[in-house]
Amino acid sequence: MKQLLSLFMVAALLISVGCGTTSNTALDAVAPAKEAMSAFRSAKSAFSKYTQDRAANAGSLTDAITSIGTAMADEGIKAKAAAWLLKGQIFNEVMSDQTGIFSGKYPNAVDKAYEAYQMVSKVGGAKKFELDAAVAALKNVSAGFSQKGANMFGTGDFAGAAKAFMKTVEISEGMGIGDDDVDQQNALYNAGLAAMNAGDNAIVKMAMGRLLKAGATTDKPNIFEGLYKAYAGDDEAKALDFLSQGRQAFPQDNGLLTTEINHYLKAGKLEVLEDKLMMAIEQDPKNKTLYLVSGSMYEKLFNNAFEAKDMATADANFAKAEEFYNKSIEMDGSYFDAIYSLGALYFNKTTPMRKEMNDLPLSETARYDALKAEVTSLMDKALPFFQKADGINNKDYNTIFALKEIYARKDDLTKSNEYKVRLEALGNK
């Protein structure tokens, strides 16, 4: 009897100890769950209070943000569709705040709202009204991304703007909206423009390509310009095809014409370029840059003809280069590029002459004197333009170098040395 009693007491003791351990573990798990549920209820209450009177209860939105953050730290709460819906609603309000109190403090509120609304359906077990509420709210979230994109574009964050606009596109796609929708086309266009500025060719190709496929090009020449630039680095033929389509669709658009000019200028196709430039000047006769580019083109044609020893053509192109540089200067008397270019036109023409002078035998005095007179005349023509260019930008190496050389040719070594010292100060010896 004593032995049975002892065994009974030991068993009772073991049961007592085991129950105590289980109870503590359960308490440890239950306490955070209760706190999370309490936080969820607090968030719900604070949000309700805020929506009853937004102006008077701004602090309640702050409470709702804090409480939902505490609640969502719990895995059990995170598994509830109702919790995600509430979080979406809270950050939807933050995103839509017109006072700037909350929207400024939470710039990514629209991202949080979007994630939350998406999770309503992902966690499972959502009631129909919860799913409907999440879907209905996406239209406002889409507008929020559009506003975020506009704000980022305005501050120069073009990469961020492109991504924000693409979120608007993504939401619309999820709602079954196609590229024939005007709002969807606007979102794609805004994304494409932002991406062009950001240099994100992938988004440009996708956004502008979809617009072109949808036929949404009526008043958007940038679609063709964007596609040209996006493909120019890896598929020149395709890039030129987009540019050609754009020029056909918008023959009077100066932006596309300038893009075409720059393409042929870079490619060195000067004969094709001449017609393009003259057409551009006809359309925009007060554009000083077009005259500068034309002058540069004729200077290149002059050099090509000179090397081919076609002196008649060379002289004609030299005169045209001089004419167009002068026209550019007439439009803007402080236009450094045009002023420098005209000085350089005269200066560079002396280069082969000076080489010939150095190579002449001593017996060729008449030829030497004739070349020297022409070099002196050209240097005298170049001098005032380089002086004026130096007055506009006194840190330009090429201008200072030219002035040093001209004064050395004029045997004014004091002046030449002054420019030599300035060159050395620039660190270009």
Of the chain, the percentage scoring pLDDT greater than 70 comes to 92
Is 84 within the bounds of a domain? Answer: yes
Taking the C-alpha atoms of residue 241 and residue 218, their distance in angstroms, rounded to an integer, is: 18
Taking the C-alpha atoms of residue 208 and residue 225, their distance in angstroms, rounded to an integer, is: 10
| pLDDT higher at 26 or 184 | 184
Q: What is the mean pLDDT of residues 45-66?
A: 93
- Count of domains observed in the chain: 1
Is 117 within the bounds of a domain? Answer: yes
DSSP state of 1: -
Is 285 within the bounds of a domain? Answer: no
The three-state secondary structure class of 188 is: helix
Q: Answer yes or no: are the C-beta atoms of 326 and 298 closer than 8 Å.
A: no
pLDDT, residue 161, reads 97
Is 176 within the bounds of a domain? Answer: no
pLDDT, residue 428, reads 52
| pLDDT higher at 253 or 51 | 51
Is 324 within the bounds of a domain? Answer: no
Digit-coded pLDDT (tens) for 387-414: 999 999 999 999 999 999 999 999 999 9
DSSP state of 95: H
Phi-psi region of 323 (alpha: psi -120 to 50; beta: other; left: phi over 0): alpha
Separation in Å, CA 414 to CA 306, 316, 419: 35, 38, 9
Is 218 within the bounds of a domain? Answer: no
Digit-coded pLDDT (tens) for 161-210: 999 999 999 999 999 999 999 999 999 999 999 999 999 999 999 999 99
Contacts of 347 (CB under 8 A, 6+ apart): 378, 379, 382, 386, 402, 405, 406
Is 339 within the bounds of a domain? Answer: no
- In the numeric block, the tokens 């420098």 are attached to 340
Q: Answer yes or no: are the C-beta atoms of 291 and 324 closer than 8 Å.
A: yes
Give the amino acid at 206: M
Residue 270, token pair as written in the block = 């000067």
Digit-coded pLDDT (tens) for 133-169: 999 999 999 999 999 999 999 999 999 999 999 999 9
pLDDT, residue 271, reads 79
pLDDT, residue 258, reads 82
The residue range of the domain holding 59 is: 35-126
Residue 244, token pair as written in the block = 């050609």
Confidence of residue 317 (pLDDT cuts 50, 70, 90): very high
Is 353 within the bounds of a domain? Answer: no
Digit-coded pLDDT (tens) for 349-390: 999 998 989 999 988 999 999 999 999 999 999 999 999 999
Examine the pLDDT at 6 and tell me if it is beyond 80: no
Digit-coded pLDDT (tens) for 87-146: 999 999 999 888 878 878 898 999 999 999 999 999 988 999 999 999 999 999 999 999
Q: Name which of 345, 348, 349 is nearest 329 in CA terms.
A: 345
Long-range contact set of residues 75-79: C-beta below 8 Å, sequence gap at least 24: 76/33, 76/36, 77/36, 77/37, 77/40, 78/123, 79/123
